[in-house]
Structure 1
Amino acid sequence: MDSGYTRAQKIWQHKFGEPAYLLQDYWGEGVPHMIWRVNVNDFVSEKSPMEARKAVAALSSTAFTCSSDYL
């Protein structure tokens, strides 16, 4: 999971801790890009299928992209 948006980065840091990769000044001076390694199963494994869909939807409600290159 990755983000270049400052607001989303704060949310992800609160939710997942420090990013696995921090690309300083990626978007310009003082504007980093952050990448987290997150296992979605940690959020859905013990939930019913409906709860799992809601959990994944909640994760995707903040702007981010996900690529298998980062997982």
Structure 2
Amino acid sequence: MAFGASTPTPQLGEVETLVVTSRVVACDGDGGALGHPRVWLRIVEKQTFCPYCSRLYVLDPLAQESSDSGH
């Protein structure tokens, strides 16, 4: 799934998981005015989550190799 692509709304008890290719992602809750403030999240190891909406961002294992360049 491409970064920023819309995903189905999770059911109660489910965690929305997005696979991304970058260690830095932005999350705003995808609700327009009903979302939350945009926050920038950094994936240090393999994943991180949004403290507002609890979305889980998982770094694509294939992208990890090219993003470990130290920049």
Q: TM-score range by the shorter chain?
A: under 0.3
Q: TM-score w.r.t. structure 1 length?
A: 0.25
Q: Which is helix-richer, 1 or 2?
A: 1
Q: Which is strand-richer, 1 or 2?
A: 2
Higher relative contact order (CA 8 A, sep 6+): 1
The structure with the largest alpha-carbon Rg is 1
Q: TM-score w.r.t. structure 2 length?
A: 0.25
